[in-house]
């Protein structure tokens, strides 16, 4: 059972310090079937507070809103919340956040700001119409241009062409976006980008601007690989898979961003990343955390590119950071992993209609906003036809049927992989589902060869959570890496489709007096984020290893007893994996490693 408890992502709305906003009170205004009203909430002499309230007065839902108004010179917004507010001179624009754009009939939402000056708002528009609910003729935003096509690709340049957008008053020009950032504004429907890097992947989209300088929706994306260098350069670390999980919630309490893969040196030593997790609900693939995935704005010092995200760029969040990472390390492939321990219960409904499930996953992974980010899909169904967080009764064939449908939909040009149990016991979870039949549809299995033992058995016996082999006194036969791999190979799964799993954390007990495994305990040891579990980067100094057993390390310090892998034990496991002909290694997850990535380095050098 893999450790993964989603951190509670309570994130406060960020205040936007902008060069101006507010005015005085004034009843005001919105779009057809909606209204927007302005109220001055405070006045402290040198400044004031203001609030706009948008109300859906129609009979159908509104999916987004934009409020525009003018302030007289000398009146400005100094900070705002619950909306992204910008200005062009004295003209102000406020757009909804990702979490408050949808309004059901009769519903309302407000955003506020602090301001300076004494003016009142005027010329209010909501979604292009008057704020009092009347229509302003001929003031709609332009349509999306056609998806660009690429031609004349060289080592350093590419010509882009697209079909024109439409607008009731005419299109003034087009913004060309490379990897989500505007690189040029042109009047025609073609443009040549130059100064590129040979043998590098880029993604281009286009958006139109009308004569009122309103921008329309972004076009679909076209991926471009410049010539020269080497096509799809092979990883520098050999031909084995070296894959790490990146958790979407790690950007919160753990403060671990995609950029940390660069600063730690890990990005240069891996071949693949599994982005965890997408949700599985209502029989479909779904977004796990929209704010982390594609909305959070990263500052320049947090960004892979060193450039801060802007409020109006088409893609932000982890997805854009992964895009920037791939531009810097084009050999890395990224898969979107769906499920996990918490969300594996959703697979039962998905298995009832595998084709519909596969279609939903394809639509999400290949969404034009981020299709260039992902190279495939990973299914983390942790207990098919077995019990875990809940009990699944979908049948032994369900896993195979789901994987077959995913391969049929994603085709041969995308990776399709799955995380699997490592329960090699007689009658255990490997026997519960048709992993052998499904193997023909997957590129590999991430066999979760960790979390065999832990402080969910509060009184012990103490045991290493990731034993490579069996040992005298092991609490349950078959709960080892070697047993799991042997069982998979025995049922016909090719060794090259099996990856060994490494946990970048330890599991531990407290109330332990015995140094060797097998001691009694009184409960789980204290951990930073959860009892009974702690990152390697903490344990290596707080409770250094005092011995090894079954190819992994353990540590007895005070009354605590921990087991975890070290660079030395990882080296031994990598050697064993190569001797077994396995396809590579993977680990859970990046943020448990040291700031210089010493565990990733051990996997990379050991698997080369």
- List the beta strands (DSSP E) in 481-535: 498-503, 505-510, 523-524, 533-535
φ, ψ dihedrals at 505, nearest 5°: -155, 170
Q: Give the Cα separation of 302 and 309 in Å (integer).
A: 10
Task: Identify the sign of the CA torsion 486, 403, 329, 248.
Answer: negative
Kindly list the distances between the CA atom of residue 567 and the CA atoms of 263, 268, 570, 572, 594, in Å, as whole numbers in the listed order: 19, 18, 5, 9, 11
Kindly list the distances between the CA atom of residue 191 and the CA atoms of 148, 215, 225, in Å, as whole numbers in the listed order: 10, 18, 17
Describe the strand order of the beta sheet including 149-151 as a list of residue ranges.
Answer: 149-151, 158-161, 190-193
Within 10 A of 472 (CB to CB), how many other CB atoms are there? 8
Q: How many CA atoms lie within 13 A of 65 on its CB side?
A: 35
Work out the angle at residue 555's Cα, subtended by the Cα atoms of residues 549 and 558, and round it to the nearest 5 degrees: 145
Q: Give the Cα separation of 542 and 472 in Å (integer).
A: 28
Among 551, 584, 422, 572, residue whose Cα is nearest residue 488: 422
3-state helix, strand, coil in the chain (%, to 5): 20, 30, 50
Does residue 50 come out as left (phi exceeding 0), alpha (psi in the -120 to 50 range) or beta? beta
Q: Give me the active site residues, please.
A: 382
Q: Are 280 and 341 in contact (CB under 8 A)?
A: no
- Token digits of residue 594: 């040291």
φ, ψ dihedrals at 342, nearest 5°: -70, -40
- Token digits of residue 510: 């407290």
DSSP for 417-476, written as a single string: EEEE----STT-GGGTS-HHHHGGG-SEEEE----SS-TTSTT-----SS-SS--TT-SS
Among 428, 401, 551, 443, residue whose Cα is nearest residue 484: 428
Q: Give the Cα separation of 91 and 554 in Å (integer).
A: 64
Among 213, 353, 229, 254, residue whose Cα is nearest residue 9: 254
């Amino acid at each position: 059972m893999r450790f993964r408890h989603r951190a509670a992502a309570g994130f406060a709305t960020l205040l936007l310090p902008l060069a101006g906003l507010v005015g005085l009170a004034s009843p005001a205004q919105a779009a057809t079937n909606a209204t927007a009203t302005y109220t001055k909430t405070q006045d402290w002499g040198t400044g004031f507070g203001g609030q706009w309230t948008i109300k859906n007065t129609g009979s159908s839902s509104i999916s987004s809103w934009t409020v525009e108004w003018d302030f007289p010179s000398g009146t400005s917004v100094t900070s705002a919340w619950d909306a992204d507010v910008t200005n062009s001179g004295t003209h102000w624009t406020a757009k909804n956040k990702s979490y408050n754009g949808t309004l059901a009939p009769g519903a309302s939402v407000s955003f506020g700001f602090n301001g300076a000056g004494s003016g009142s708002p005027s010329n209010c528009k909501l979604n292009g119409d008057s704020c009092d609910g009347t229509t302003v003729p001929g003031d709609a935003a332009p349509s999306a241009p056609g998806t660009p096509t690429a031609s004349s690709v060289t080592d350093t340049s590419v010509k882009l062409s697209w079909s024109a957008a439409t607008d009731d008053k005419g299109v003034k020009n087009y913004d060309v976006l490379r990897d989500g950032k505007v690189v040029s504004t042109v009047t025609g429907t073609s443009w040549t980008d130059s100064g590129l890097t040979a043998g590098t992947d880029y993604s281009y989209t286009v958006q139109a601007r009308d004569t009122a300088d309103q921008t329309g929706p972004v076009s679909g994306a076209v991926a471009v690989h410049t010539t020269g260098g080497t096509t799809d350069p092979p990883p520098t670390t050999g031909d084995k898979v070296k894959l790490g999980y990146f958790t979407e919630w790690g950007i919160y309490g753990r403060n671990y961003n995609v950029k940390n893969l660069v600063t730690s040196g890990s990005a240069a030593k891996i071949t693949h990343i599994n982005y965890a997790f997408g949700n599985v609900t209502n029989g479909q693939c779904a977004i796990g955390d929209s704010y982390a995935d594609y909305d959070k704005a990263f500052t320049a010092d947090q960004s892979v590119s060193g450039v801060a995200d802007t409020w109006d760029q088409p893609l932000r969040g982890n997805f854009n950071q992964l895009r920037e990472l791939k531009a810097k390390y084009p050999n890395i492939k990224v898969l979107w992993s769906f499920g996990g321990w918490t969300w594996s219960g959703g697979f039962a409904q998905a298995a009832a209609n595998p084709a519909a499930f596969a279609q939903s996953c394809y639509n999400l992974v290949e969404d034009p906003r981020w299709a260039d980010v992902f190279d495939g899909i990973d299914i983390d169904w942790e207990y098919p036809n077995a019990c875990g967080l809940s009990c699944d009764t979908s049948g032994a064939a369900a896993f195979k049927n789901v994987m077959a449908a995913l391969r049929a939909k994603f085709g041969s040009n995308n990776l399709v992989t799955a995380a699997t149990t490592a329960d090699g016991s007689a009658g255990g979870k490997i026997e519960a589902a048709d992993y052998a039949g499904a193997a023909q549809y997957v590129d590999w299995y991430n066999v979760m060869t960790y979390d065999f033992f832990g402080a969910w058995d509060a009184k012990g016996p103490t045991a290493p959570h990731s034993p490579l082999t069996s040992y005298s006194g092991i609490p349950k036969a078959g709960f080892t890496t070697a047993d799991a791999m042997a069982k998979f190979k025995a049922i016909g799964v090719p060794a090259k489709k099996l990856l060994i799993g490494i946990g970048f954390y330890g599991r531990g007990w407290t109330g332990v007096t015995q140094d060797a495994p097998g001691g009694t305990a009184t409960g789980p040891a204290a951990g930073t984020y959860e009892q009974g579990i702690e990152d390697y980067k903490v344990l290596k100094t707080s409770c250094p290893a005092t011995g090894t057993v079954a190819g992994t390390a353990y540590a007895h310090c005070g009354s605590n007893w921990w087991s975890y892998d070290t660079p030395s034990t990882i080296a031994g496991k990598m050697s064993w994996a190569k001797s077994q002909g396995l396809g590579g290694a993977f680990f859970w997850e990046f943020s448990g490693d040291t700031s210089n990535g010493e565990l990733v380095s051990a996997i990379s050098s050991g698997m080369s």
